Amino acid sequence: MLQDIEPRVFHNVFQNKQSGPKDLFLAYQGDTVLIREDKDKLWYPSFADFSVSHPHLLQEAQFLFTIDELNYYLVEEEGLDEAPGWIYVSSMRFHAEKKYWRSFAGAIGWQLNRWYGNHRFCSRCRKPLKRSKKERLLYCASCGMTVYPTISPCVIVAVHDRDRLLLTKYANREYRKYALIAGFAEIGESLEQTVRREVMEEVGLRVKNIRYYKSQPWPFTDTLLAGFYAELDGADTIRLDEDELAIGVWLPREEIPEPDNISLTGEMIEAFRRATVSL
């Protein structure tokens, strides 16, 4: 999965650290990220690469995180592809890159870039927010309001019935492969209650024996995904929520196509397909 970057180690502890020439930086423009043009991988710039053309970047950079010994910073300047050899590429590359640690770094940086960009002013008293030097926190010096990065809990549910798995396809989304039932936890709800509600809302089925599998940070939508397997309880007739889903089908194990391996959804479909998860 995207976050499985072993043997590399992701350190998300915030540090109030001045950037140096060898440190890497992430720079975004809309849904694109800056990389070296002549590499076929997500090759992010170091400050040394821009020391002549953009020396001020070093001073204005925001510390993000560390992977192994390498520090990553955020640079909010746009138009850096004026420098020869650098281009912006689609963030869809984060889904395609084989080296997960590069995709993971770029995707987490993108999430933090959105967070900083979306919280420039206090939503209570409208004064500019300041960046804490001690933790990953924005605060209002005028009224004391604090803002931490928002992470929304979301469930992924693999509904199964003997050797059949319930697979869905989204309506009106770019993602065209099979998916599982998914949805955000609502206020006042446990994750198990979210599982039951989402399965009922999206496909009109009841489930029992709800079993937690694994979790996954999903930086693209600011969510923390919790994966569950749940057994069909009662009738198997699917009533599709057509606003959300285009397709909902029961597929026998041997007919399930091979899923992607970046996502928790993919891993859960694969574990069922290969019968490596005990249910």
Least Cβ distance, residue 64 to Zn ion (angstroms)? 25
Least Cβ distance, residue 142 to Zn ion (angstroms)? 5
Decide: is 140 part of the binding site for Zn ion (CB under 5 A).
yes
Q: Which residue do the tokens 């998914």 mark?
A: 182
Q: Which of 136, 110, 115, 64 is nearest to 219 (CA)?
A: 110
Q: Which of 250, 256, 157 is nearest to 209 (CA)?
A: 157
- d(C-alpha 190, C-alpha 257), whole Å: 32
Least Cβ distance, residue 150 to Zn ion (angstroms)? 17
Least Cβ distance, residue 147 to Zn ion (angstroms)? 10
Neighbours of 229 (CB within 10 A): 24
- d(C-alpha 147, C-alpha 170), whole Å: 32
**Contact predicate 14/62, CB 8 Å:** no
**Which region among 42-50, 66-74, 144-152, 245-253 touches Zn ion (by CB under 5 A)?**
144-152
CA angle 33, 38, 40 (to 5 degrees): 70
Residue 22 or residue 126: which is nearer to Zn ion going by CB? Answer: 126
Site for Zn ion in 66-125 (CB under 5 A): 122, 124-125
Least Cβ distance, residue 138 to Zn ion (angstroms)? 11
Decide: is 145 part of the binding site for Zn ion (CB under 5 A).
yes
Least Cβ distance, residue 272 to Zn ion (angstroms)? 49
3-state SS class at 166? strand
Which residues are registered as beta bridge partners of 90?
A: 32
How many residues bind Zn ion (CB under 5 A)? The answer is 7
| Among 48, 92, 143, 246, interactor with Zn ion by CB under 5 A | 143
Decide: is 246 part of the binding site for Zn ion (CB under 5 A).
no
Residue 125 or residue 171: which is nearer to Zn ion going by CB? Answer: 125
Decide: is 138 part of the binding site for Zn ion (CB under 5 A).
no
Strands 152-161 and 181-184: antiparallel
Decide: is 130 part of the binding site for Zn ion (CB under 5 A).
no
Residue 144 or residue 252: which is nearer to Zn ion going by CB? Answer: 144
Both structure tokens of 21:
């020439």
Interface with Zn ion (CB under 5 A): 122, 124-125, 140, 142-143, 145
